[in-house]
Amino acid sequence: MSENIKRKISEIKYQELIKFFLPLAVMPIIIGVSHNAVNASLARLPFPEITLAVYAVSKSITNIIKSPIHMSRQTVTSLVDDQSSFKFVSSFIFGLGVLYFLMIASLGYTPLGEIVFKKIIGLKDPQEIKFAYQALSIMAFIPLVESIRNIMQGLAISLKKTELITPGVVVRIISISLILLWVTVNQAVAGVTAASGVWFAGIAIEMIFITFALRYTFGSFRGKNGVLASLPNNVTKKVNLKRIIKFFIPIAVMAFLARFVQPVVQSGIVRSSIGTHDLAAYGVSWTLVMIFVGPLDQLHQCSLVYARELNNHNWQRILKFSLAAGTMVSFILAVLAFTQIGDFVLIKLISVSPAISSIVKKVIVAFIFFPIIRAFRETFWGVMMQRQTTNIIAAAKIVGLVFVVLVFLILALTVEINAAIIAALALTAGEAADALTISFFIIKNNVLEKIYAENH
């Protein structure tokens, strides 16, 4: 017992945090590359315009429906610490996967799909509707494999074995690249079928790899020294169905609502500007910013997984580590915004016009503090997930979304600046409101002090 207590309050080293976080940070970048590879291949297949458009629409529908499943890793990490809790949580998450499968399948295999495609989405061409059916009939199976993959990745994160995740993601991108190369050369498969198929296959590959990697590393899942027996005692409250639902619903709603932020912002840009230059510049800016900011979304795993090792000193280490990561990303954005490197990336690599490039660099300036704020927020998110108080996370997110809308409206009505820049400032303000709301709750309620006391 004394060794266990000593381990819990031992000093967390920066090297340990880097080793834990780096595989998680690399994961969204590699996955982003795979999505770009799919789009590039679709442009080289028959009916490229229709294929790209229908695939984008089908992918958006699928992502909106299954968006809550993205929070399943955090659910496993926060609630699973033994075989009993694993059974409860994994059954719940896979059950959600089945539900989302049925919802998407109802669009991909029944006449309901045609109603949605025509009446809601606005697809009219028979070829477009045919492609949409083909895409969703394959995408329907994605929630099933994604739920299992996220369960296994959540276990790896709890066990601080994040290095087991990266090889599976690398195998995914290699496999997808080979499949897309074959499809592009032979032109034997319809574009939406190929794109939807490799999306499903990529996640399935990750699922298989991480499952076998865990089994190989620990020998078994349920044995004496297996995966479940090796899980740390991080769960603060007994797990049952009611507690799973209480934990999961707020962050699931948050994930669902977050899908609508960009459409709302883009709609505001369209209404506040003449022509499409501002919208195009914002689209390029947001894509470029999120390439670097995306990895910061995994920082909450540090404060979540290391919660049982927190004292004031270790908390300060995790917070400084997170803020350092955010500062590095802000520095990268500053380089893109203020140096010729930005022009090279935008004009030479992305191939936007000099006029658009000039606006994009100004928008990136407005986003410069966004990464630091995101890193700060994610660190506090992890604490609240460990405390199983995700309702506070959801409330803070709602406050952030309200601030996005209010700040956009106020600036659009009072200041004569580019609408894309206003959008960037509004999103940064919303992120700050989210971060300040949750940090205020933690400080006011002495949450960290309670964790320190429990750990001692």
Establish how many alpha carbons lie within 13 A of residue 432's alpha carbon, considering only the half-sphere containing its beta carbon.
Answer: 12
Q: What is the mean pLDDT of residues 385-389?
A: 86
The residue ranking higher by pLDDT, 252 or 16, is: 16
Poorest-pLDDT segment among 57-66, 133-142, 235-244, 342-351: 235-244
Q: Give the whole-angstrom CA distance, residue 349 versus residue 291.
A: 15
Q: Give the whole-angstrom CA distance, residue 92 versus residue 82.
A: 16
pLDDT in tens, 99-146: 999 999 999 999 998 898 888 877 778 888 888 899 999 999 999 999
Band (234; pLDDT cuts 50, 70, 90):
low
pLDDT value at 382 more than 50: yes
pLDDT of residue 318: 95
Band (273; pLDDT cuts 50, 70, 90):
low
pLDDT of residue 388: 85
pLDDT in tens, 201-215: 989 999 999 999 999
Q: Give the whole-angstrom CA distance, residue 390 versus residue 110.
A: 36
Band (380; pLDDT cuts 50, 70, 90):
very high
pLDDT of residue 276: 66
231 neighbors 159 (Cβ within 8 angstroms): yes
Poorest-pLDDT segment among 27-36, 299-308, 310-319, 361-370: 27-36
272 neighbors 412 (Cβ within 8 angstroms): yes
pLDDT in tens, 62-88: 988 998 898 899 899 888 888 888 988
Per-position b or e across 408-426, b if 16+ CB within 10 A of its CB: beebbeeeeebbbbbbbbb
The tokens for 455 are: 């750990």
pLDDT value at 8 more than 60: no
pLDDT of residue 42: 72
The tokens for 270 are: 């369209």
Entry pTM: 0.85
> Most distant CA pair in the chain: distance in Å?
70
Band (233; pLDDT cuts 50, 70, 90):
confident
Band (236; pLDDT cuts 50, 70, 90):
low
Collapsing DSSP to helix, strand or coil, 30 comes out as: helix
* CA quadruple 107, 113, 119, 123: dihedral sign: positive
Q: What percent of the chain has pLDDT over 70?
A: 96
pLDDT of residue 194: 83
Q: Give the whole-angstrom CA distance, residue 63 versus residue 259.
A: 8
Of the candidates 109, 49, 24, the one whose C-alpha atom is nearest the C-alpha of residue 300 is: 24
Could you report how far apart the first and last alpha carbons of the chain are, in Å? 13
The residue ranking higher by pLDDT, 258 or 448, is: 448
pLDDT value at 432 more than 80: yes
Query: Which residues lie below 8 Å from residue 20, measured CB to CB, with a gap of 6+?
Result: 160, 162, 301, 302, 305
pLDDT of residue 4: 44
Query: Which residues lie below 8 Å from residue 410, measured CB to CB, with a gap of 6+?
Result: none
Secondary element (H or E) of residue 400 = helix 390-414
Q: Give the whole-angstrom CA distance, residue 415 versus residue 422.
A: 9
pLDDT value at 223 more than 60: yes
Q: Give the whole-angstrom CA distance, residue 167 versus residue 164.
A: 6
pLDDT value at 187 more than 80: no
pLDDT in tens, 275-320: 567 788 888 888 889 889 999 999 999 999 988 888 889 999 999 9
**Which residue is it, tokens 């006011």?**
444
For residue 344, what are the CA distances in angstroms to 40, 193, 248, 422? Answer: 21, 35, 44, 25
Q: What is the mean pLDDT of residues 396-411?
A: 92
Q: Which contacts (CB < 8 Å, 24+ apart) does range 270-276 have?
A: 272/412, 272/419, 272/422, 273/418, 273/419, 273/420
Cα angle 321-28-175, degrees, rounded to a multiple of 5: 140
- 200, 203, 206, 208: CA torsion to nearest 10: -50
pLDDT, the chain, mean: 87
Give 251's DSSP letter. Answer: H
Residue 294 identity (one-letter amino acid): G
Collapsing DSSP to helix, strand or coil, 256 comes out as: helix
Q: Give the whole-angstrom CA distance, residue 142 versus residue 195.
A: 13
Collapsing DSSP to helix, strand or coil, 87 comes out as: helix
pLDDT of residue 48: 72
